[in-house]
Structure 1
Amino acid sequence: MPDISTREKIVSAAVKLFYSEGIRSVSVDAVAERAGVTKRTLYYHFESKDDLVAAYLEARDQPNLALFRRWFSDTEGGLAAKVQAIFHNLARSARHPKWKGCGFLRTSAELANMPGHPAMKIGAAHKKKFEDWLKSVFETEGIQDPMRLARQVVLLLDGSFAVVLLHRDPSYMETAGEAAASLIEGAPRTGGTVSPSPA
């Protein structure tokens, strides 16, 4: 059990530092110091900084996906309103002074010249899980081309992450949510119908 708690302590420190300052600017020494462990102890649990960066994203994977699903399920109304709620909640998060954008996208930008890096694979898998979840939701709702619609929503979401980070204006994310809702409302359903607009 001590090994597990020590590893969790290191990952928790890495999550805070990497997200707030970026992976390039944070040293292994800084993570060890923040975690309250020696550098030797850190390397006992992680073979390299690359492994630690991968663990950072792994730690964010399921909690982020669970949060999106909760925002979706907790919202009253139809499919468009539920998806739009994800954007609105993210816009609210973006108004916090410590918000630094999407950790997965920021990490991929820092590792753009290292496509084989384990963190790149974790980031890509995370985005694909969200896309696949949307696709399954749209399938359940009878959308004719659920994959296409899921990808359109993902592009709006990730595009808004980038623009909000650039302009520091979360209203761009709310506008992207409105666009996503419009796409969903206008999406053909099996049987040739179109999703009814909310009253």
Structure 2
Amino acid sequence: MGQPTPTTRDRIVNAAARLFYGQGIRAVSVDAVAEKAGVTKRTLYYHFDSKDDLIAAYLEGRDQPNLAVFQRWYAEAEGSVDAKVKAIFDQLAKSARHPKWKGCGFLRTAAELAGMPGHPAIKAGVAHKQRVEDWLTHVLEADGIPDARTLGRQIMLLLDGGFAVVLLRRDPSYMETAGEAAAALIAAAARS
């Protein structure tokens, strides 16, 4: 059996995801999304009340797949928890070397909507980042690392800081350096 045929809503979200990630949310019109999805603007608005709802759906659609990739990279890495977390940063650095890499879609969207803290896309971004932080905290707790909640938060700061600096400088080695810092924090906490 093949893949199920995507629904019209899925086609719209997939088209929006490609355009929003590639060009930014403000640069992409609803007309462009409808055209890429192969639907009329009216059909798009049948499925989404506004462009804001479409932007939120784009991020919500990235949430679980992005977290699953982090979890897979962690699971596939060898070594102790510090080496496994560092492997996530190394994989992100590898991704950042791809010419189509544009950084974290959640952070880029948040930057475009910085003056709109109640926007549904900002809420989707906050929820995603919290899920990643909670997962990191869980893996640290499972390994018996003390003060896992604080350490999970510190690793999130390194992740998001890494995304920002790599995007600015176009130098993925900054993500690797952030991974080294995360591993050092974890190793130090494990010794305490």
TM category (shorter chain) comes to over 0.9
Partner of 2:185: 183
- Displacement of 1:4 after TM fit? 6.2
CA distance in 2, matches of 1:123, 1:183: 25
Partner of 2:127: 125
Partner of 2:65: 63
1:119-161 deviations in Å (ceiling 9; x for gaps): 0001000000000111111111111100110011110110010
CA distance in 1, matches of 2:117, 2:49: 20
CA distance in 1, matches of 2:24, 2:94: 22
**TM-score for the superposition, normalised by structure 2:** 0.96
**TM-score for the superposition, normalised by structure 1:** 0.92
- Displacement of 1:103 after TM fit? 0.2
Taking only aligned residues, the RMSD between alpha carbons, in angstroms, comes to: 1.4
Between the two proteins, the alignment pairs up a number of residues equal to 189
**3-state SS in 1 of match to 2:39:** coil
- Displacement of 1:60 after TM fit? 0.3
Dislocated runs of 4+, deviation >4 Å: none
CA distance in 1, matches of 2:6, 2:56: 17
Greater C-alpha radius of gyration: 1
Partner of 1:36: 38
Partner of 2:171: 169
Partner of 1:107: 109
Structure 1: which 5+ runs fail to align? Answer: 189-193
CA distance in 2, matches of 1:29, 1:103: 21
Percent identical among aligned pairs is 71
- Displacement of 1:3 after TM fit? 10
